């Protein structure tokens, strides 16, 4: 079935549909990971986005129930150069095509993804529409232009859980996870470190979360504009200084705002599993997994109290923060990977060490 992708600047890319036919709109971004498409499909941080894979062959190892990062696919659409017709893996329980169909996700293949990626790199991420029902380029461009902007959108509130739940009830340390769109691999890493892990809606305020006496609070990754989450920032402000606080990705941006910084939108964001990051304390360089379109503005941070701990070696943007006196820190990249390299999983150990030290200090 023929289909079109139309971008808001008027550029149109032809292709063929797979998955579920229909029409989908969202911000078009590209991901440079060579594997891990199922984790990407189910990462809540992609809610409201159409993801283009730069690796040319996708779907060759099928899908399975073990490599998911949330209960359902979260993105709006999926674009690949070539969808594999074979699913060869001992764990595979289905095909990519059938998986997208079962969740009504529109896929687009036989697209010149190299040209699309170069266009986004030059012009920046922009709104787009994929359609099998409307093949009029002018009509689709108009639809793209009238679709919601990413700036100012609170998408975390759309993907967060409605009620708290236990991920793991047995352990030595109680970690409250504020769910802005949490990836399950974050919860798995906490659980393997013998933590009791309870997940809370990001709409809960600090008083409700702190009333359950957590030993530490983690603000998770998630989609949308961090500047559109003043209620989550307020929760972080009230938690900082009372319990140890750790933020990942969107949670890093929330913590950065709570410490006095502002955020801004990147031209085309960081999406993939091959981003080099430098630890400014040790000088060590790690390859990291990333998925974000916004970042903290270094000029707005109160540097007397806050230290930048990591930077991105591609564009020098902030990748980590730490408060000089209080038990709070955050990272922009994903230490849990899923997909991506495991270079920075030690950061979870640093968080647990900080939590345990704070608990011992209180007696």
Which residues form the catalytic set? 249, 334, 336
Round to whole Å and give the CA distance between 343 and 135: 45
Residues in a beta bridge with 2: 16
DSSP letters, 163-215, are S-EEEE--SSEEEEEEESS--HHHHHHHHHTTEEEEEEETTS-HHHHHTT--S
Residues in Cβ contact with 127 at an 8 Å cutoff, skipping those fewer than 6 apart: 7, 8, 25, 26, 27, 28, 144, 145, 147, 148, 149
Region for 337 from its dihedrals, namely left if φ exceeds 0, alpha if ψ lies in -120 to 50, beta otherwise: left
Region for 306 from its dihedrals, namely left if φ exceeds 0, alpha if ψ lies in -120 to 50, beta otherwise: beta
């Amino acid at each position: 079935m023929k289909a079109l992708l139309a971008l808001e600047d008027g550029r149109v890319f032809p292709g063929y549909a797979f998955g579920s036919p229909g029409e989908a709109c969202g911000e078009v971004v590209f991901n440079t990971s060579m594997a891990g498409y199922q984790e990407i499909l189910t990462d809540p941080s992609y809610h409201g986005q159409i993801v283009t894979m730069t690796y040319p062959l996708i779907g060759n190892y099928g899908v399975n129930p073990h490599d998911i990062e949330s209960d359902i696919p979260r993105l709006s659409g999926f674009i690949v150069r070539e969808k594999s017709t074979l699913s060869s893996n001992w764990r595979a329980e289905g095909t990519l095509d059938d998986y997208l169909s079962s969740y009504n996700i529109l896929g687009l293949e036989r697209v010149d993804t190299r040209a699309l990626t170069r266009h986004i790199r030059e012009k920046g991420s922009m709104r787009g529409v994929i359609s099998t029902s409307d093949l009029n380029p002018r009509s689709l461009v108009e639809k793209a232009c009238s679709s919601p902007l990413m700036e100012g959108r609170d998408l975390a509130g759309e993907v967060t859980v409605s009620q708290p739940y236990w991920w793991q009830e047995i352990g030595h340390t109680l970690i409250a996870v504020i769910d802005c769109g949490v990836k399950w691999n974050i919860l798995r890493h906490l659980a393997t470190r013998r933590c009791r892990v309870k997940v809370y809606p990001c709409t809960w305020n600090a008083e409700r979360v702190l009333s359950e006496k957590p030993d530490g609070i983690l603000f998770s990754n998630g989609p949308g504009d961090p500047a559109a989450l003043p209620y989550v920032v307020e929760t972080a402000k009230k938690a900082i200084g009372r319990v140890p606080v750790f933020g990942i990705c969107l949670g890093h941006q929330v913590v950065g705002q709570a410490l006095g910084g502002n955020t801004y939108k990147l031209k085309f964001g960081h999406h993939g599993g091959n981003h080099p990051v430098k630890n400014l304390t040790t000088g060590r360089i790690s390859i990291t997994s990333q998925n974000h379109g916004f970042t903290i503005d270094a000029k707005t941070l109160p540097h007397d109290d806050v230290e930048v701990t990591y930077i991105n070696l591609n564009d020098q943007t902030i990748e980590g923060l730490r408060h000089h006196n209080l038990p709070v820190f955050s990272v922009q990249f994903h230490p849990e990977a899923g997909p991506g390299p495991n270079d920075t999983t030690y950061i979870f150990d640093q968080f647990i060490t900080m939590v345990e030290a704070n608990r011992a200090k209180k007696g």
